Amino acid sequence: MHIFFCSDPLERRRADAVYASEFAAARDVVDACHLIDFEGLEMSGKPFAEVTPPQRQEPAVEAVYRGWMLSPAQYRRLYGALEARGYMLVNSPEQYRHCHYLPESYGVLEGVTPQTVWLEGAEHSDADICDAASAFGDAAIIVKDYVKSQKHYWDEACFVPSASDTERLLQVVRRFIELQGGELEGGLVLRRYVEFETLPTVDEGDAPSVLEYRLFFFDGRLVSLAPYWDESDYPSALEVPVDRFGEVADRIDSRFFSMDVARTVDGEWLVVEVGDGQVSGLPERVDEDEFFAELGQEGT
């Protein structure tokens, strides 16, 4: 297994400071670690613009990207650039999109994740937005795009107490789109608000901080499970229903992905979201040496 990390924009021969500890942990347990130029990829589609390209491989070898989040188009360019040098990222561009864009995976998550509807693109009439929201009746909903929400602006750009309150709904949607600006991904998403158990010690602005865990799967096998939040006291006796989520994982069209799960106030466990494992952050409580040892083992 070969792993590609983002380089430091000020010192191209080193991994970005955010990924430095991961780079150090991976270097001892995988075949090789390499660097890419994230800024070059982002601006011109050239991942080796300011770094030395890795040696060509023949036959091709498996690879994983660990770095900043990419749009599906950017990931496709990275995939192509690495493939040309004999490095095959474990997730195809289609698999990356499947986990990166919520609507792409909703079909296999429906029933184990909050009810969701969406509108493609950023420009929608008030009537279309209200029509989409009508699926929730009077229930509370949250507003986001295909990838992110504005949870730090919880009341003004994320949470709608009643989907039938059209005035409040449209205010929140307009503010959300304004804050996203040109970075809105895919389109507009409306999700049923679910009351999860909370963790009072996490400071996330006005957004509720929930009893949440992040799981990583590789080729259908759970390789990591850890509390999502870094500075919270999680119940020591709590057991995440791994078997339940393992069955869900088998339906995800991806070799390497993350799954965030949480427990509701009624005791039901749900999937909050899935993400491509290559761009999903490692919770602080994950042992990086063990994590990359697992990836190295999977790549053998």
- 3-state SS record for the chain: CEEEEEEECCEEEEECHHHHHHHHHHHCCCCEEEEECHHHHHHHCCCCCCCCCCCCCCCCEEEEEECCCCCHHHHHHHHHHHHCCCEEECCCHHHHHHHHCHHHHHHHHCCCCCCEEEEEECCCCHHHHHHHHHHHCCCCEEEEECCCECHHHHHHHCEECCCCCHHHHHHHHHHHHHHHHHHCCCEEEEEECCCECECCCCCCCCCCCECEEEEEEECCEEEEEEECCCCCCCCCCCCCCHHHHHHHHCCCCCCEEEEEEEEECCCCEEEEEEEECCCCCCCCCCCHHHHHHHHHHHCC
DSSP 221: E
Distance CA 138, CA 284 (A): 38
Those residues whose C-beta lies under 8 Å from the C-beta of residue 121, and which sit 6 or more positions away, are 187, 188
Q: What is the C-alpha separation between 224 and 295, in angstroms, rounded?
A: 10
Alpha-carbon span 146 to 297, nearest angstrom: 32
Residue 146 has what pLDDT? 97
Residue 297 has pLDDT above 80, yes or no: no
CATH code: domain 115-192 is: 3.30.1490
Assigned architecture for domain 196-294: 2-Layer Sandwich (3.30)
| Per-residue pLDDT tens over the stretch 151-203 | 899 999 999 999 999 999 999 999 999 999 888 999 999 999 999 998 865 45
In the chain, residues under CATH classification 3.30.470 are 196-294
In this prediction the pTM is 0.92
Residues 132-147: tens digit of each pLDDT = 999 999 999 999 999 9
Residues of the chain with CATH 3.30.1490: 115-192
Q: What is the pLDDT of residues 178-189, one digit of tens each?
A: 999 888 999 999
pLDDT value, residue 184:
93
Q: What is the pLDDT of residue 158?
A: 97
Predicted confidence (pLDDT) per residue in 206-260, tens digit: 555 788 999 999 999 999 999 998 866 787 768 899 999 999 999 999 999 999 9
Question: Residue 89: which of 254, 248, 249 has the closest Cα?
Answer: 254
Element (DSSP H or E) covering residue 88: strand 87-89
* pLDDT at residue 233 in the model: 77
- Given a cut of 60, whether residue 127 has pLDDT beyond it is yes
Cα–Cα distance between 78 and 154 in angstroms, integer? 34
Q: In this structure, are residues 195 and 189 in contact, taking their beta carbons and an 8 Å threshold? A: no
- Residues 72, 73, 78, 81, CA torsion sign: positive
